[in-house]
Structure 1
């Protein structure tokens, strides 16, 4: 049995007990990225003497957008550059327990480990140790200013993720965890983070299994996408490229409006562009599907998937193209105008709104997810899914199985607003199926056990895809028509 006071490699931490489980919050895993470390990759934290009380969440990262309930309008813990902390939930009797590490989403712009939607009690009830951690977002974490000034580092947020996973690998045993049975998982930007970790040579060996929910593998971009987004940021800051050094010492608050402008308005200038994210550099040397095809994640078992209606939310938020004129501009700016007729044929017969929702889904999520799953399926057991379950409220809103609607079922977190009006037995059932699959996968690398039918691994021959819904099913090679059209289209690349 683990004690509440445990000795990590940096020093002792004291947790607390709630309802028969142990928790340690606000454990530092890296030095505060402040002063000369602003815009630098994170480095491991210093050792400390005595016992550090781990009873409260650490500061959350600076948030660079408001997102209706998350981001800057969520009142949880203080924002600070000093934010590189992680949290551990553990069964009281943990001993060589499987470890599940969650990486939050938030469009690379917001997010925090102290968000109640990402708490870990449901995993501890299944004898799994759960960890989440903060990483820097927005300009502090994802803007690659090094393309203009090499005194800035690229992929600062990616370095945070790697250091957090190194800490887990090196320390989780003293919390009762098995360092040789670690699963990483994340949704949206967190799913992109999972693809990043599967591609990064310095993350190799830090985990054994991975789950990417609605990750945007194409958001791991070449410098061109970064240049376009950063150009808008610099313009809104009324700065010149030669003045970027001023960012190192100015108050973070002065960056808010420019960063939020990029998040909300970049598609006005560049339809179909994704928000600034991880960049290809020495940490991530190539696109995820290229890296995995070359064996970057050899031996890692994975679950990759998307939601059926990924595009509906972003269409309504005006973050995806909303008409064919914008699609034509997107293709022209990307040097592939010849692809327009093929896209029009693909979405022929659909209303403009429906066509644009599906086009955005396929561009941002579907095509690149298929590239990744095809790349990894010969290097480890690989499971594909699509989430089709729709709550009553999401259907009434016209969003259907939209982006993020699989997070609650996967983590077994009940989301009051979204679950409202839907019969509880339906919500309970989808939670049982999806959370149960994630638990079984974390324990033994196979998602089966609570599912109503066998979920087979994805192979190039069968391309088996599990469909989560009121009545689950299996499809083979779904969406292949869209993939064939999109697989060679490169947007702002």
Structure 2
């Protein structure tokens, strides 16, 4: 994926970035503070948030040894202890990745660090801990203030931990040879290691090790889901918030019938046989930038037409089990009896996730213009035969395009279709699984539908300023201050949405119930004693008895409604046998 941003918007983003960096320097004090960890002491610094709260920041704390040299592609190992006070006052380098705007490789392989933010190091009693896992399709992302500054969440009394993990081939390369010990999912194993660190060390920062909530968006949401499924994380956390990404999303499972590692080796100059040891030896010597530059090109155009995969290196079923195995079998099977079925979950997505497809259409317009009867859009894990794929494809074309021919003029219809294919149907299947296999643990469904002309940052970057709607990742602007944001007046609808979203997440972290008093933006006309003016103002967990799942719809006002996507989701459900659906 790459973004072709209008020159005017590029200049605006650059100007905002300079302002952001300048403001960050003003908010950072010279007051230092020292905290303990099990590995040694760390030095942090006192900050002020843009809305006035003071907090302590510890950035760049190592939770594993640098995954370089002999540790490249391998599962992470514990960091060494240190005796001197370690300076943790600046964010460390992002993981190696391709910058999708500048088309350059950035970051470092030495990337396994986390950031801790806390209002009080020694509160009267430990406070809830929130652990954030960033998204980016398992190809990009970073634990940085540029994207995830803690200002909004530091308005509340919690500890926030932002973790890092390896990406792309460096984080998800897989080899079949057991003796090499590279079965894949090193990036997910980084997350497991970080969660172990949080469990063991959060008390030193005022956090409650018995009240940890993991939350993430997109690939971070899918990662959070995987953390609920794997036995590696049993009892490491207690609640989850899953945003716009689940383990069942088609982009969150890499097809295993193609040897992506061998293709990568060939693309970087390897001319030998298909031999794991030789391939591994070659790839260990390659520059990280060489591996990442070619990875996007080893997917053929035909495979893109068939929607085989969006990325060639991501979560995968591991070819053999080890003591660090995270995904021993399909996530569908893991969901039925995982330990995470015993803990509360908030899950949801944005109302027009598929606006994220605009850059793909700009880069490869033939993927839209040559859709034909949509037979390649049938879910692969439904295991339909050719005739069934064609029949289902025709249903999809009728449902999303009607009698219009797919073309650039139908890009919004195309985007709507992929809202379901890439995001909402995975969420739907997860809801069905939770309703049947986790009936005792509450599962709350939300739908983020807040459409701001100037503050839905991802839509502006992805689609420009003429398109409206709530795009994939637009909700991040309301959880984290970032380099594209600005300080808002407290009376604005955008600020009230920030307060609302942060309060819901924190209330859920505190109690396992995300309900807060719902106040509309038009407070003058708000009926007394209710959040929405309707009797359905209480947000209840889903139930297997629900004919249609109810969701909390977060727009300019907030209401509990029937999920608007339900009818089209039933169409996607219909192509699965029940045992393949959930």
Shared fold (TM-score greater than 0.5)?
yes
**Secondary structure of 1:344's aligned partner:** helix
- Aligned partners of 2:168 and 2:292 also within 8 Å: no
- Aligned partners of 1:89 and 1:121 also within 8 Å: no
**Secondary structure of 1:317's aligned partner:** helix
- CA distance in 2 between partners of 1:270 and 1:107 (Å): 19
- CA distance in 2 between partners of 1:123 and 1:280 (Å): 35
Establish whether residue 40 from structure 1 lines up as the match of residue 62 from structure 2.
no
Superposed CA deviations along residues 335-358 of structure 1, whole A, max 9, x for unmatched, are 544122332333252753233212
State which of 429, 442, 463 in structure 2 corresponds to 1:371: 429
- CA distance in 2 between partners of 1:383 and 1:144 (Å): 35
Establish whether residue 316 from structure 1 lines up as the match of residue 363 from structure 2.
no
Offset at 1:485?
2.6
Match of 2:47 in 1: 18
Q: Point out the structure with max Rg over C-alpha.
A: 2
**How do 1:64-79 residues align onto structure 2 when only pairs under 5 Å count?**
65-68=98-101, 72=104, 79=107
Match of 1:325 in 2: 372
| Structure 1 residue runs without a partner (length 5+) | none
Match of 2:270 in 1: 239
- CA distance in 2 between partners of 1:405 and 1:261 (Å): 28
Describe the shift of the 1:326–1:60 C-alpha distance in structure 2 as closer, same or farther (beyond 3 A).
farther
- CA distance in 2 between partners of 1:147 and 1:330 (Å): 33
**Secondary structure of 2:393's aligned partner:** helix
- CA distance in 2 between partners of 1:66 and 1:322 (Å): 25
Offset at 1:221?
5.8
- Name the TM-score, length of structure 2 as normaliser: 0.75
Offset at 1:322?
1.8
- Aligned partners of 1:41 and 1:153 also within 8 Å: no
Offset at 1:448?
1.4
- Aligned partners of 2:145 and 2:482 also within 8 Å: no
- CA distance in 1 between partners of 2:153 and 2:91 (Å): 19
- Name the TM-score, length of structure 1 as normaliser: 0.88
Offset at 1:206?
0.8
Match of 2:297 in 1: 261
Describe the shift of the 1:301–1:315 C-alpha distance in structure 2 as closer, same or farther (beyond 3 A).
same
State which of 348, 354, 357 in structure 2 corresponds to 1:305: 348
**How do 1:333-482 residues align onto structure 2 when only pairs under 5 Å count?**
336-337=385-386, 338=388, 339-349=392-402, 352=406, 353-377=411-435, 378-393=439-454, 394=459, 396-398=465-467, 400-411=469-480, 413=481, 416=484, 425-451=492-518, 452=531, 453-462=537-546, 463-482=549-568
**Secondary structure of 1:268's aligned partner:** helix
| Structure 2 residue runs without a partner (length 5+) | 1-31, 49-53, 319-324, 519-530, 532-536
- Please identify, of 350-359 and 295-304, the stretch whose mean Cα deviation from structure 2 is larger: 350-359
Describe the shift of the 1:106–1:254 C-alpha distance in structure 2 as closer, same or farther (beyond 3 A).
same
- CA distance in 2 between partners of 1:114 and 1:277 (Å): 22
What is the root-mean-square deviation of aligned Cα atoms in Å? 3.2
Describe the shift of the 1:196–1:479 C-alpha distance in structure 2 as closer, same or farther (beyond 3 A).
same
Establish whether residue 227 from structure 1 lines up as the match of residue 258 from structure 2.
yes
Match of 2:285 in 1: 249
Establish whether residue 273 from structure 1 lines up as the match of residue 309 from structure 2.
yes
Describe the shift of the 1:54–1:22 C-alpha distance in structure 2 as closer, same or farther (beyond 3 A).
same
Describe the shift of the 1:123–1:251 C-alpha distance in structure 2 as closer, same or farther (beyond 3 A).
same
Offset at 1:295?
3.8
Describe the shift of the 1:401–1:79 C-alpha distance in structure 2 as closer, same or farther (beyond 3 A).
same
